[in-house]
Amino acid sequence: MFKKFIPFLLVLFLVPQLVWADFGDIPTGSALDSVLQYLEEKNLIETGQGQAFNSEKQVSWGEFLNFVLERRTVDTTGIKVPYLNVRQGGSYYNSVKKALKLGLLETKTKSYGYGYKITRLEALDFLFRFYQISYSDAVLPARWTYWDIDSGSRYAKLVQKVLELELIKPKATTRFGAADVLMRGELAKMIYGLELHAEGKAPPIEPKPMQIQIQFSPATFQYGTDIVNLDIFRSVWEALNSIYLHQDKINRNELMYGAIKGMIEKTEDPYTAYFTPEEAAAFTTDLSGDLEGIGAHVTQEPDGTIMIVAPIRSSPAEKAGLKAGDIIQKVDGQVIQGRSLGEAVKKIKGPAGTSVVLTIIRGEAVFDVRVVREKVTVVSASWKEEREGIYLIQLSQFAQNAYAEWRAAVQAILAKHSEPNRENRTTTTLRPKGIIIDMRNNPGGFLDVAKAILGDLLPSGSTGLIIKTTRRLQEEKIEGDELLKDIPIAVLVNRGSASASEIVAGAIQDLKRGQIIGEKTFGKGTVQQLFSYRDGSSLKVTIANWLTPLGREIDGHGVDPDVLMEDKLAIGNATDALVDRAVWYLQGEGRIR
């Protein structure tokens, strides 16, 4: 305990002459103090009034929009917000409307990822469009040193303009820090520099820091600023592309893709993957809800085995009897262990009407299964009345369209319980007896879709999950309409319920919002971020673990149901034991009185 306070005491005794600015953690005379004073005078930020500014705090997309637009005047008359998870009166509603009015946001999706962290490059791209600053005339130096920005992309000229305007500094001589999460202090400096540019002024030279040195204990972690042996990689690349004998046999794209995949392989993380343009197109299609093949979600284990996470409901895979946890040993007689996930999926997929023979390992048994491929259109959310007043919503995946389909299902259910009063022209809504959320064999999908659905189930402002990175724990708060807040809930899961399914189930369980029924879930508790590149390739990289609201680790563990039951539903069966158990719960024990 005493050691933790030593640095603080050193500051008190060694630097008594510092006077603090409006923000309690920013000393007067510092470069950031001048920046914040300027932004305060321009009425672009609120005065600090002694509160901490938290210059090292990471910025989400929602916080970014508020920082940039909240105090600016933009006529948003007639602007409709297309995002179902951004509600009128919510924290980011007004800023989102302003951004839409200015044409700064995409409107193709039905949800807005306000909780996602924004990167330095994303922020700069947005701000340059907001300030209408052109950078197409920027001249790149003869030697481009930043390996994380492709010199042939438009972002290289954007970064060059950023450096000319002295908005922010590169992270290192060879790395700009394009994909680094934006910090609040960096955002303030960006806006400060762009405001000065708009006024035709040059940013003042930063004052030299006060010559005070304080010795702290070494940090518990650090980020490298240089790539080890990058010069060797460049030398090998140049040799292969210049003096190698069989130049006619070299495909330079394949060389680069192979090198990248080699790096990914060494992480031994089954969820971090690099997709070539062809593989990326297939991956995006899979997440969009449309696919052609056997209709199963698969993953690759650290030892290289390909495992079925979940067969899609009513798909060829389910009809053929494939189950979550099955290992695919061979495809049409060819062993696929050791191949990349993309290569394996390519072999399994195929045109509708064709067949594929999969050699399956299930426990001690090894057997062949012939599956006839079909075109599979995945409906993310559908509903039916299971018993009088009790409804079942089947959530098949958390794809891009899932929240829109979920919302339509919820509104249709509530509409069945709405009675119009013709005398005073009002509508009385009677509460359904209960809702069953069926997430069996749901492999997951987009985190913001899961949060949006939780917004209809949990009290607004409650913690939906905890994101655990190498640097901090971050609580993700739920915002929503709470449409179903007073309606009893039962959730069905099995070992094919993974990722976003486990987020929803874990939050409902921790907050005692409903009963979880079925099998122990898959245990996929990591968060991935997708980076897309100009050639169409993409990188899916693990950036964090997620925990339930009470801090339970899910990765490798799964969610233990409140009621443990084996999921024995066979195709064509008239009864479903898990559904029957959920109905019993909602009719009696689960009813809110």
In this prediction, residue 7 has a pLDDT band, given cuts at 50, 70 and 90, of very low
Mean pLDDT, residues 249-270 taken together = 89
Q: Comparing C-alpha atoms, which of 115, 118, 65, 182 is closest to residue 467? A: 115
Number of C-beta neighbours around residue 575 at 10 A: 7
Catalytic residue among 315, 499, 537, 538: 499
Kindly name the residue from 95, 110, 524, 555 that is annotated as catalytic: 524
For residue 370, pLDDT beyond 60: yes
Strand ranges for 320-389 from DSSP E = 327-331, 334-335, 355-362, 365-372, 374-377, 381-387
Percentage of the chain surpassing pLDDT 90?
Answer: 35
* Rounded mean pLDDT, 28-38: 80
Look at residue 390 and tell me whether its pLDDT is greater than 50: yes
Give me the CATH code for the 290-376 domain, please: 2.30.42.10
Of the candidates 334, 336, 337, 330, the one whose C-alpha atom is nearest the C-alpha of residue 358 is 330
Note the pLDDT tens digit of each residue in 432-468.
999 999 999 898 888 888 999 999 999 989 999 998 8
508-537 tens-digit pLDDT:
999 999 999 999 999 999 988 878 787 888
The arithmetic mean of pLDDT across residues 394-410, rounded, is 88
| C-alpha–C-alpha distance, residues 469 and 531, integer Å | 18
Q: Alpha-carbon distance 354 to 198, whole Å?
A: 61
SS (H, E, C) 385-438: EEECCEEEEEECCECCCHHHHHHHHHHHHHHHCEEEECCCCEEEECCCCEEEEE
This prediction's pTM: 0.56
List, by residue range, all CATH 2.30.42.10 domains of the chain. 290-376
Q: pLDDT band for position 21 (50/70/90)?
A: very low
Q: Which two tokens stand for residue 229?
A: 């042996």
Residue with tokens 């959920």: 582
Residue 391 in tokens: 């409804």
CATH class of 381-587: alpha beta
Mean pLDDT of 488-499: 94
Average pLDDT for 117-145:
89
- Write out pLDDT tens, residues 207-237: 333 332 222 233 333 444 455 677 888 888 8
Domain with CATH 3.90.226.10 in the chain: 381-587
Q: CB within 8 A of 218, min separation 6: which ones?
A: none
Q: Which of 89-93, 471-475, 498-502 has the highest mean pLDDT?
A: 498-502
524 is annotated as an active-site residue: yes
Higher pLDDT, 425 or 273: 273
User: In the chain, pLDDT over 70 holds for what percent of residues?
Assistant: 85
Token readout for 388 is 């009088």
| Catalytic annotation, pick one of 33, 510, 555, 576 | 510
How confident is the prediction for the chain on average, in pLDDT?
82
C-alpha distances in angstroms, 291 versus 310, 358, 374? 15, 19, 9
Residue 117: active-site member: no
